[in-house]
């Protein structure tokens, strides 16, 4: 029963989610061949530039390198804060 319960509500501690998150972080470094410091400053610079225009949630800010066919792409996920005023 617990099994079913867990499945319906989604187990947050499912270890595969932990594995995927850890892989994501490791692969960012492996694929970019940037040092952790360089990557950190890339993130900070990105954050700084974009914050000039938008209100960013820097908790959810993510940078990934993903493979597309034979090229590598820099993919940034930049959540914008809900409270951003809309020009109605």
- The residues that touch another protein, with contacts defined as CB under 8 A, are 1-4, 11, 14-17, 19-20, 22-24, 26-27, 30-31, 66-68, 70
d(CA 34, CA 32): 5
Cβ proximity to another protein: between 73 and 80 the closer is 73
Other beta carbons less than 10 A from residue 7's beta carbon = 10
Closest approach, Cβ 2 to another protein, in A, equals 7
Closest approach, Cβ 16 to another protein, in A, equals 5
Cβ proximity to another protein: between 2 and 53 the closer is 2
- Cβ contact 74:63 at 8 Å: yes
- Cβ contact 63:25 at 8 Å: no
- Cβ contact 32:39 at 8 Å: yes
Closest approach, Cβ 36 to another protein, in A, equals 16
């Amino acid at each position: 029963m617990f099994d079913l319960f867990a499945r319906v509500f989604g187990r947050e501690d499912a270890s595969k989610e932990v594995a995927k998150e850890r892989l994501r972080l490791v692969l960012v470094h492996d694929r970019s061949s940037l040092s952790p410091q360089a990557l950190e400053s890339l993130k900070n610079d990105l954050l700084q530039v974009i914050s000039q225009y938008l209100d960013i949630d820097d908790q959810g800010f993510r940078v990934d390198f993903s493979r597309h066919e034979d090229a590598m792409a820099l993919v940034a996920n930049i959540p914008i804060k809900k409270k951003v005023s809309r020009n109605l």
